[in-house]
Structure 1
Amino acid sequence: MTDHLGVLALTRRTHEMRVLAALRSRGPSSRAQLAEATRLSRTTLSEIVADLVGRGAVVVTDTDAAQRRGSGRPAALLALDPGSAQFLGLDFGHRRVALAIADPSHEVVAQAEVSYDEGSGWDERVERAVALARRLAKEHHLHFGALQGMAAGVTGRSRTAAEPVVARLLAEAFDVDVTVDNNVRFAGLAEASERGSRSSHAIYLHLSDGVGGAVVVDGRLHQGADRVAGEFGHVVVRADGELCRCGKRGCLETVAGIEALAEADPVQLGRAADAVGTVLGAAVMILNPDLIVVGGRVPAERPEILPLIESAVHEGTAGSAGSRPEVRAAVCGPFAGARGSLIAAIHESPLLAGYDGTVFPTVQRETSRRAIG
């Protein structure tokens, strides 16, 4: 019975997405035009449109009287409601959650962040995220009645115990399927998707409270066999170094994270850059990227480290048969993870071809729907 309900919910959701996509590309359209564009039956389309109108995703804007020929009755024109929040992206960091909301045109219409203690449980973290979403909806005159998708990035390695917990809590609040993955991978997705800097072979390194990364290979976000590709932070760079949260000693995270570098002197900064360059240099020799993007709090608060990292990378790849990769600072800022989550939720980026993010579906959507905005 549950499987049957799940299939019906998925089918209905697919039909909704087709109608919304048609309105997004065509603009205001009559029901007849939508039927032609979506190839849905009149009965199915009528049910989907009625539900979307009832939830506020679609509004009646006008009639086609001005374009109509003859004396027939004018048909109502349907359009996307600009006040409908369609997608949510969240980035749960060690000490704060960042959130971004996209409208029916996939444009980001609101974003904000709120802090919490690093020792906070997931109940409290998600509760703060939901409260933040409510506040943003009120401030920007948005509603979540037709939310189509949500993705959340969480700290730590993928497929951790946190993923299903976060997904369940978010699904209970928003009644929508939730995709959960590593938050740094989502940040890398956002950076790799930026206009003017797209690359089919790129590395993203995140230096912040933690250290991690993402890898783009052949134009696709690469996950690896166990979805942990990009764990640069736990490559050992000092055998007798500080104890890392992962249990090893001397990981790159203990040398190049914000805790180690917030008040570092030039000598310490140079040593950290050398360690980063060693790790990235090895990755360059193996993966042959043409772009390396460095983001997070460290380059934001200590920008002088970037040219040091670039120099260390080039020194570490001297003699390589390949060309030197470009090394640049991230451009998406503190909302990179949230915006990358949005891209994953919308799932239209070519970088996501073959992507295997963990999706936690909401079953019995029609009987348990609720709106929070």
Structure 2
Amino acid sequence: MFFTVLSLVINTIYYVFYLFYFSLSLSHTVLPFGLDIGLLGFSAYYLTRLRKPEPENVSSIFGPEPWGKESMQNPDKVVRCIAHRGAGLDAPENTMEAFKYCVERDCNIVELDVRTSKDGKLLLLHDQGLERLTGMDISNVHHMDWDKIKDIDVGATHPNRKQFKDVHLCLLDDALDYLLANKVKVIIDVKGEDKQVVAGILNCFATRPTLYQSAAVTCFNPFVLYQIRRNDPQIVGALSYRPYCFSSQDYDAERGPNNPRFADNLPLHSVLRLADMIHSLVWRWSARWCAVSAVLLHKDIVSPSEIQYWRWLGIRCAGWCVNRPLEKLYWRGVLKAPYLANTLLGEPDVSEKKASEKDSYSNLDRPGPLVDKLLESDRKMSSGQN
């Protein structure tokens, strides 16, 4: 499907180029070598670039801009923590139990992953298969009908499995109905590149008008996001990015790209590394081409200058995954940007609320005691929660 979309985009750009070049030929205009190609590229970019949704929809989902006056006047409306996969380290990810956990803890915005089953059902699942969540040998749910996988326990390998027993996969429709009923905002991360998932997302918005003010759609693949927003420009879009996403399954600042996708195939791995290099050069242009309202970036590549760049463009910037209390404090106090977290433990505002209720910290205005308390919760986290 990816190659189909890519082919469609390339053909569209080709015909736009051809039309512009034909116009130049008719006017007998002769341009220096390379300048005509550059003009054609810029023309195609601006002619095919999408328009942004209503600003009110963006503010409804992401809250007021953290650096604006409205955030100072209404601090409770500022989005700080987004529960990644429904806080997947605290409860089984992308399940109704995880969303109930978030609602019980007053988390008002969650991120979830969507892909399709063989019979076209939109289910919540990050991975292609169920090996990591269940230990079962199911490598791709897109090859299986919903009825065959709906009763599988997807909390079997979770660190808190004793608390969450017999947890099942969840359909997107059920999750949206529950979250909207509890006034929780949603970021829908689209996995897969098939027509069914694109049509399903569009249908969700068409049948739930309130979703335009309550949900944003994100994707690593800009062509999938472009398809969705081209069909419905009022959908709030966000582009996700991390380095080496083609060639490696994981990335962090300390080790760099690791866990190669095709380590035993050097030629293919080299091609994917080249794709990573090209991707790193064009992803910002892709975000602007899709007219996104937010970008979701790997936390290890985010700096104050990166956030300032997107603020200058009027685009929200969030990082993932920020799990440690001191990291959360840095994002709130220094970067002043929202973050996606796998755990709701160690949230600075929660610690402060508990402190005021119990009167346990008399010196919260000093950084020392607050940092000590944050470090205490950080030390109590098990290895499975970090």
TM range (shorter): under 0.3
Quick one: higher RCO (CA 8 Å, sep 6+), 1 or 2? 1
The TM-score with structure 1 as length reference comes to 0.27
Could you say which structure has the higher strand fraction? 1
The TM-score with structure 2 as length reference comes to 0.26
